Structure 1
Amino acid sequence: MPRPTRVLPVLLLAPLLLTACGSEKADTETVAVSSAGARETTGADTGRGELDARAQALGVAPELVRVTEAPGFTLAQQSVGVLGDDGFSAIWVSGETGAHLRLSVDRGSITAGTCPEQPVGDMSGERTTCERDGATWYRTGAGRHEYAVPGEGHVVRVSAEEGAVPRDVLREAALAAHRPDAAEAARLLPPAGPAPGTPVERGDLPPVGDGAPDNDVDAGG
């Protein structure tokens, strides 16, 4: 005679079913959070990669890019470019006086011994006067003055014509110079051009056929 099959009461099965469902839901939520985190990280990396590509398209090392601010001065976008081998340079212009404030960053160092030998701005052949000002150097020469801030393997400089920009404005702008965040870099750096070898679309190519230029003329010649 067959033995009857024993069936567990529903009340005993209910906790097991709830536990299994809860575990599955928790696992699903964990995966969702992990995926969201991965998407956010990937997006940040992609944004930074694009900005680095913009700097490299100019010939500038991304780690040397800096931005600053000074009351009444606005960035001249067309001035942003490379300095030397892979340094950075940009100019801010006063909306009131038209005076130029130049920010530059280049590899190297500056000490009490080497400061007098380094020209202010692009001037050469002129001996520079150096004055220590805290962690910075105030330098004058060839009608210009600047503040130089030594960094790890590089020097940040903010310079202008003497008399055009006050010394305290130079100092504040030099101390305010910093690596831009994503939003600042997007405003500072021009978009990168097409990669080398990218085909350039021509407007005289017909939409059909072998793609040869259409050189037909009207009946009048």
Structure 2
Amino acid sequence: MTRNLRTLLALSLLPVLLTGCGADKASGTGAAAADSAELAAAAKDWGVEPELVYVTEVSGYSVFPASVGSYGDGEFAAAYRADKGSTRIGLFADHSTLTAGNCAAQPLGADALKPVTCQQDGEAWYRTAGGVHEYAVPRDGVVVRLIADKKKVDRTVLREAAKSVHHPDSDELAALRPARDGADT
């Protein structure tokens, strides 16, 4: 399956994953990254490489643990939802590169057939196509993408999410995992 179709499929599944969700909260503590063995175990459970596991912090949004895991050929995905309402931000991480030369040629989410515009914003790329926009943040051979509906998520909010991209600390890693047997993990 091509990367374009995988991204389209992943984005089309986000609304299904988020339907009827409770109020699970992620805690952004700003602490040191999770222990490498702990991160490796979680990544293995999700079917992804540990270096692809990223989180973000954005005011008014929490990660939805049931959305966290692999998509496509081992890329990482997580959905963040508004604490109030149904607005979502998708976080996707894969081994790719994004440059001025290939930015516009890489499709963007559900609007994969629409022309993509690119604008460098610091170390990140701000990309738009049709009704969606994203910040793509290069990190050590990985591109972390924060994507959302332009009408529902302001560019400032998306930029805040992009600036806060990091590997999870232990508390954040625990928040990525859904509660088991009715108890928090």
Distance across 2 between alignment mates of 1:134 and 1:51: 29
Matching residue of 2:92:
104
Of Structure 1 and Structure 2, the greater helix share is in 1
Q: Is this contact kept in 1: 2:64–2:176, CA < 8 A? A: no
1:16-165 residue pairs with structure 2 within 5 A? 48-165=36-153
Q: Is this contact kept in 2: 1:55–1:189, CA < 8 A? A: no
Distance across 2 between alignment mates of 1:106 and 1:122: 17
Distance 1:56 1:166, change over 3 A: same
Distance across 1 between alignment mates of 2:38 and 2:127: 36
Distance across 2 between alignment mates of 1:116 and 1:188: 32
Read off the aligned partner of 1:120 and give its amino acid letter.
L
Read off the aligned partner of 2:129 and give its amino acid letter.
G
Distance across 2 between alignment mates of 1:111 and 1:74: 30
Matching residue of 1:201:
none
- 5+ residue gaps, structure 2, are 1-34, 181-185
The share of aligned pairs that are identical, in percent, is 45
SS in structure 2 opposite 1:80? strand
Q: Which has the higher contact order (CA 8 A, sep 6+)?
A: 2
- 5+ residue gaps, structure 1, are 1-46, 193-221
Moved beyond 3 Å, runs of 4+:
189-192
Q: Is this contact kept in 2: 1:109–1:151, CA < 8 A? A: no
- Aligned-residue offset at 1:190: 4.8
Q: Please say which structure displays the higher CA radius of gyration.
A: 1
Q: Is this contact kept in 1: 2:111–2:131, CA < 8 A? A: no
Distance across 1 between alignment mates of 2:44 and 2:115: 33
State the TM-score, normalizing by the size of structure 1: 0.61
Read off the aligned partner of 2:37 and give its amino acid letter.
G
The number of equivalent residue pairs is 146
SS in structure 2 opposite 1:169? helix
Matching residue of 1:189:
177
State the TM-score, normalizing by the size of structure 2: 0.73
